[in-house]
Copies of this chain bind each other. A is one copy, B any other.
Amino acid sequence: MTNVQEMIERRERLLGPGNPLFYEDPVHLVKGEGVWLHDADGNRYLDCYNNVPCVGHCHPRVVAALCDQASKLNTHTRYLHENILDYAERLLGKFDESLDRVALACTGSEANDLALRIARVATGGDGFICTNATYHGNTTAVAQLSSIFEPIGGYGENIRMVPWPDAYRAPENLGGEALADIYADEVRTAIESLTANGIKFAGMIACPIFANEGLPNVPDAYMEKAIAYVRDAGGVYIADEVQSGFGRTGDWWGHQQSGVVPDIVTLGKPMGAGHPISGVVARGELLDDYRRHEMYFNTFGGNPVSCAVAMAVLNVIDDEGLVAKAAEVGEYVLQGFTELQEQHELIGDVRGRGLFFGIELVNDRKSKEPATENAKTIVNAMRHKGVLMSKIGEHDNVLKLRPPLCFSRENADFLIKTLDDVLVAA
């Protein structure tokens, strides 16, 4: 039996207060396998939250690749090694041919920090646009582009935040391209504001599926319109695919359905299924230009072990058909959530892209008042019924689900049934 209270006290004493923990009753995990997590008391949880172990917890092929390479050699990349070359070649093969260079690092934050500098060199500018309900990472520079937490010292004058494209809360008589125009105009206005203040525009960073914003149904052609403004103004588009990449959406990359090929793509979380590896994929001239201006070297980035692990992840995704599976099972789950919506007034909107879901809870379907408290209650109740998930969004009222990509229809049935039970009791 776990003494949870004692562990929490040790955390506070050693790590300090304010370290985020999930759930009112935090979970003490000891084992992971596929879509399942086990706690120290022998309870089993269906993992509907963790996108990092994308191929399933402790996938034997990933663990084997890790152990095999770790027992042979692990060095930085100032020596030659085939793993980084084989991985880079394989990874770039998954992208549009215009995206033909990669730099490897360890975390999504490092990837986004580097991407910002690549954009600065490419444009000579320093003005960046992000949305007003997002998070892109934890370095000093990247924290400037995170609206969820205000950075220390406040925001720089070079940052503009635009409303994220929220189709659900848009005026009822607006939809499709008309709505896209309204939101894209916000991008144009932000660029004009930078220019008017003498700040040269560098680009826009956005998650192509707006995951942190609450996974909205993006109005048709929004990305084409917004990025056209960005490019017309000489800026670059950085697609933050740290959450949306590697099959999550039922495509390899979240940007594939947006109608726009980014100039720079950043990768992270699922790339090594938990092993710290991240990357920046970019048009060759952008990365080369950057390297002519500034040395970038990352001691652990692209080492033989990280690349062996990341290659195993690609292999498993391909061999187990997980991209197609994410699309197919994702469709099935979305159908189940839509049926729940018909039965439960609390569910205002149901959204999904592959195996990434947002269920927006509202106190009233007409006013769309966010049901923030209910979201909290439901997430905690699900935890006690053996399903791990979380919540997200500007109003913290969107249930957030993104299980490992090996999630099955059977797992989906359990999730939907449990959520139904919890909603009945809510």
Instruction: Mark A residues whose CB is within 8 Å of B.
Output: 2, 4, 7-8, 10-11, 14-22, 26-32, 37, 50, 52-53, 57-58, 60, 63, 66-67, 70-82, 84-85, 88-89, 92, 101-103, 105-110, 113-114, 116-117, 120-121, 126, 138-141, 143, 149-153, 268-269, 273-276, 284, 287-288, 290-300, 302-303, 305-306
Contact assessment for B138 and A140 in the assembled complex, using a CB-CB cutoff below 8 Å: no
In the assembled complex, the Cα of A32 lies from the Cα of B79 at a distance in Å of 12
| A71 B63 Cβ-Cβ under 8 A | yes
Given A22-B78, A106-B106, residue A288 in contact with residue B17 (CB < 8 A): yes
CA distance A303 to B272 in the complex (A): 13
The 3 closest A-B pairs by CB, nearest first: A18-B291, A140-B141, A14-B88
- A290 vs B2: C-alpha distance in the bound complex, in angstroms? 30
Chain B residues near A16 (CB, 8 Å)? Answer: 101, 103, 284, 287-288, 291
Q: Are B80 and A298 in contact (CB under 8 A)?
A: no
Main secondary structure of the interface of A (DSSP, over half): mixed
Residues of B with C-beta under 8 A to A18: 288, 291-292, 295
Are A29 and B81 in touch, CB under 8 angstroms?
yes
Query: What are 13 A-B pairs at a CB distance below 8 A?
Result: A7-B85, A8-B80, A14-B85, A21-B80, A30-B81, A31-B73, A58-B74, A63-B67, A67-B70, A70-B274, A107-B299, A138-B298, A275-B300
How many angstroms between the C-alpha atoms of A106 and B108 in the bound complex? Answer: 11
Question: Which of B31, B110, B275 is the one whose CB lies under 8 Å from A72?
Answer: B31
Report the nearest B residue to A77, measured CB to CB.
B19
Specify which chain B residues have a CB less than 8 angstroms from the CB of A32 in the assembled complex: 72-75
Contact B67 A120 (CB under 8 A): no
- For this chain, the copies found in one complex come to 2
Q: Is the CB of B80 within 8 A of A26?
A: yes
A15 with B103: in contact, given A21-B80, A293-B152 (CB under 8 Å)? yes
**Contacts A16-B291, A276-B300 known; A79 to B152 CB distance under 8 Å?**
no
By beta carbon, the residue of chain B nearest A299 is: B269
A299 contact from B52, B78, B151, Cβ within 8 A: B52
Query: CA separation between A150 and B117, bound complex, in Å?
Result: 13
Known interface pairs A21-B80, A268-B299, A276-B276; A101-B294 also in contact (CB < 8 Å): no
Residues of B near A109 (CB, < 8 A) are 110, 298
CA separation between A74 and B77, bound complex, in Å? Answer: 25
List, in ascending order, chain B residues with CB within 8 A of A19's CB: 77, 291
Q: Quick one: which of A15, A291, A306 has the most chain B CB within 10 A?
A: A15
CB distance from A373 to the nearest CB of B (A): 21
Please, which residues of chain B bring their CB within 8 A of the CB of A84?
Answer: 11, 15
Interface centre among A20, A74, A296 (most CB of B within 10 A): A74
B57-A66 in contact (CB<8A):
no
Verify A82–B296 contact, CB threshold 8 A.
no
> Which residue in chain B gives the minimum CB-CB distance to A295?
B149
- Docked Cα-Cα span, A139 to B303, in Å, equals 19
A107 to B106, CA, bound (A): 7
Q: Which residues of B contact A108 (CB under 8 A)?
A: 299
Bound Cα distance A297, B81 (Å): 32
CB distance from A246 to the nearest CB of B (A): 14
Given A67-B70, A107-B298, does the pair A102, B141 have CB atoms closer than 8 Å? Answer: no
- Which residues of B lie under 8 Å from residue A292 when comparing CB positions? 18
How far apart sit A85 and B153, CA to CA, in the bound complex (Å)? 31
Chain B residues near A294 (CB-CB < 8 A): 143, 149-152
* Residue among A8, A82, A295 with max Cβ neighbours from chain B (10 Å): A295
In the bound complex, residues from chain B placing their C-beta under 8 Å from that of A153 are 120, 126
User: Does B79 contact A29, Cβ atoms closer than 8 Å?
Assistant: yes
**Distance in angstroms between the alpha carbons of A17 and B108 in the assembled complex:** 23
Tell me the complex Cα distance, A140–B117, Å.
7
